[in-house]
Amino acid sequence: MCGIVAYIGPRQAQDVIIKGLKRLEYRGYDSTGIALMNGGLNVYKKKGKVSELEKSLNGFDLNSHIGMGHTRWATHGEPNDENAHPHYSATKKLAIIHNGIIENYSSLKEDLERKGHTFQSETDTEVFIHFIEDIYENEKCSLDEAVRLALTKVIGAYAIVVMSLDNSELLIAARKGSPLVVGVGKGEYFMASDATPIIEYTNEVIYLNDYEMAIINKGELTIKNTENLPLTPYIQTVDMELEAIEKGGFDHYMLKEIFEQPRSIKDCMRGRLDSASGRLILGGLREYVNTLVNADRILIVACGTSWHAGLVAEYFFEEYCRIPVEVEYASEFRYRNPVIREGDVIIAISQSGETADTLAAIEMAKSKGAIIFGVCNVVGSSIPRATHAGAYTHAGPEIGVASTKAFTAQLIVLNMIALIVAQQKGTIPQQKFLELLIEMENIPEKVEIVLKHNDKIRDIAAKFIDTNNFLYLGRGYNFPVALEGALKLKEISYIHAEGYPAAEMKHGPIALIDEAMPVVFIATKDSSYEKIVSNIQEVKARKGKVISIITEGDTLIPTMSDHVIEVPKTIESLMPLVSVIPLQLLSYHIAVMRDCNVDQPRNLAKSVTVE
């Protein structure tokens, strides 16, 4: 949460930074600010989105070749101009941008107030820069040393960049717990929360690790850690096309990402799965595959949509591998002192690879000796670096806050892991294994077919834009899909929605059913088809409005539904990959028609780096 970007080099810094902030706006968007060295160290900031800041900059001479900017997701202090970043130090000779939380800021603030400091904002970040300056003045050391000393005394998470009025060729950055990437161009450097603001200029990047600092002074880059040990920069090449982070003619990133799924699913399987030869390989797992094969239990930790993918994976591992699985909310797991035994294996799932709760759960499980596998989308992010092994989902950048293509790619990777383990364990017949490989290769085409119903789904959506509540029901593999459909709707349209196992309806939610309650049934032809038909009848008997996701050719459910959306037939365990698509589109269209900002829903951020 919060996006940071900084630049030093021959270009106009504000151009690079404003563009970069727009790319990072998915991380937070309640206020924005920029610091430039244009005849002084000047800070411009504004409540609202980057476009608001941009408008407010009209008429200023912003000529500067160094600068930094920030887009905020509020933690300490409400979103307003004062709390927006950058923040000045007491003398206004230093400025800082910060992503993270300084947990001991109140005690630091009290000490500083005793020394006469006054603060303009309610933020922990302003305290941080005052603290750095206090050290700088008292220790009479270099600024980077003052920053380093301050970092050894703050508790919490940070990715920061500091600028100084006294040196217009200096940028100091550091990270712990919040991501920070340094872009290395020809005679220029970039810093950002992720690589998206950088790839337009260079694909050479350094992913800073926790407790590392990057200092760019007079064109020279130095990397060291907070213990003052110099480090050799490890420059990596990022493989990301500019087009992948632009809307490409779609009105919203979310819609683009929904429509990208046939391709992202293929990308996820490319080079890993080949049904013709029966080959299924995940390079990242090779070394640890026996650990999974011999696992007594798998614990899956994740949050949000990734947690829903984990629930589907529970069914995969139990069906194919006969390994018991528990799916845990990372935020609960990390604080529960869970029992982790020898023979337990953890799988952590995360699109961003930065989710604070998931990261903390991994660290906690590691400290208890567990082996951790990661399933992540963002290459080089913190979770893949904290795990023993893993597999990337290769879905490409997901920018819409509502996760769509990452979910289907997670399902593919988790299915592949389960199949590899099952084959090695001998718990899946070869015939079934091959059928699954063949059908996985058919999934992109089947998703394409569902996407063709977009207009019909938009028409259905139009009928429900004034609804206050929705219920989503599914059984078996489609139960996590029901949860995911409900999450999609509530997060972008602000309509209250609940997902339930269809059979649980009679234990409570049925009391809610009346003519004003739409119920989405994920009722594809599978082993619980007859049961879900009965559940639909129960809702109809109480006058609920039924929208059913059905298998093509089903003639029964349409007779008892108000609306149906067909999806192609597939193997039961793969059905979530197709049955989730109409739910993504339904929530998208309802949100657009309600005039909601689907890519940047209120109060949310793409990557939740606070607990």
Residues at the site binding ligand M6R, with contacts judged by CB under 6 A: 303-306, 350-352, 355, 358, 401-403, 487, 491, 607-608
46 neighbors 52 (Cβ within 8 angstroms) = yes
* Min separation Cβ 591 and ligand M6R, Å: 12
Location of structure tokens 């430039």: 36
Number of residues written out for the chain: 611
CB-nearer residue toward ligand M6R: 285 or 605: 605
CA distance 381 to 366: 18
What CA–CA distances, in Å, run from 446 to 49, 441, 533, 550?
Answer: 38, 10, 24, 14
Catalytic position from the list 45, 176, 256, 606: 606
CA distance 265 to 447: 9
Angle between helices 430-451 and 261-269 (to 10 degrees): 160
475 neighbors 531 (Cβ within 8 angstroms) = yes
* Phi, psi of 124, rounded to the nearest 5 degrees: -70, -30
* Min separation Cβ 435 and ligand M6R, Å: 30
CB-nearer residue toward ligand M6R: 102 or 401: 401
CB-nearer residue toward ligand M6R: 67 or 380: 380
Active site residue 606: yes
* Min separation Cβ 166 and ligand M6R, Å: 39
* Min separation Cβ 329 and ligand M6R, Å: 10
* Min separation Cβ 294 and ligand M6R, Å: 28
Location of structure tokens 């390079």: 283
* Min separation Cβ 463 and ligand M6R, Å: 24
Contacts (Cβ under 8 Å, ≥6 apart) of 229: none
CA dihedral 383, 385, 386, 392 (to 10 degrees): 50
594 neighbors 493 (Cβ within 8 angstroms) = yes
190 neighbors 7 (Cβ within 8 angstroms) = yes
CB-nearer residue toward ligand M6R: 133 or 354: 354
* Min separation Cβ 522 and ligand M6R, Å: 17
* Phi, psi of 175, rounded to the nearest 5 degrees: -140, 145
CB-nearer residue toward ligand M6R: 398 or 566: 398
Strand ranges of the sheet holding 66-72, from the earlier edge strand across to the other edge: 41-47, 31-37, 66-72, 3-8, 189-192, 181-184, 204-207, 236-237
68 neighbors 171 (Cβ within 8 angstroms) = yes
Separation of first and last alpha carbons in the chain: 11
CB-nearer residue toward ligand M6R: 305 or 570: 305
DSSP string, 365-421: HHHTT-EEEEEESSTT-HHHHHSSEEEE-------SSS--HHHHHHHHHHHHHHHHH
Which residue of the chain is nearest ligand M6R when measured via CB?
Answer: 304
Q: Which two tokens stand for residue 311?
A: 């629930």
Catalytic position from the list 2, 268, 303, 321: 2
Helix (H, G, I), strand (E, B) or coil at 106: helix
* Min separation Cβ 110 and ligand M6R, Å: 34
CB-nearer residue toward ligand M6R: 162 or 265: 265
* Min separation Cβ 295 and ligand M6R, Å: 23
CB-nearer residue toward ligand M6R: 151 or 157: 157
Ramachandran region, residue 206 (left: φ > 0; alpha: ψ -120 to 50; beta: rest): beta
Of 388, 390, 331, 321, the closest CA to residue 355 belongs to 331
CA distance 578 to 568: 8
Of 488, 484, 486, 533, the closest CA to residue 509 belongs to 486
Strand ranges of the sheet holding 156-164, from the earlier edge strand across to the other edge: 87-88, 94-102, 156-164, 167-176, 212-217, 220-225, 230-231
CB-nearer residue toward ligand M6R: 109 or 394: 394
CB-nearer residue toward ligand M6R: 129 or 483: 483
Q: Do strands 189-192 and 181-184 pair parallel, antiparallel, or not at all (unpaired)?
A: antiparallel
* Min separation Cβ 608 and ligand M6R, Å: 5
Which residues are the active-site residues? 2, 606
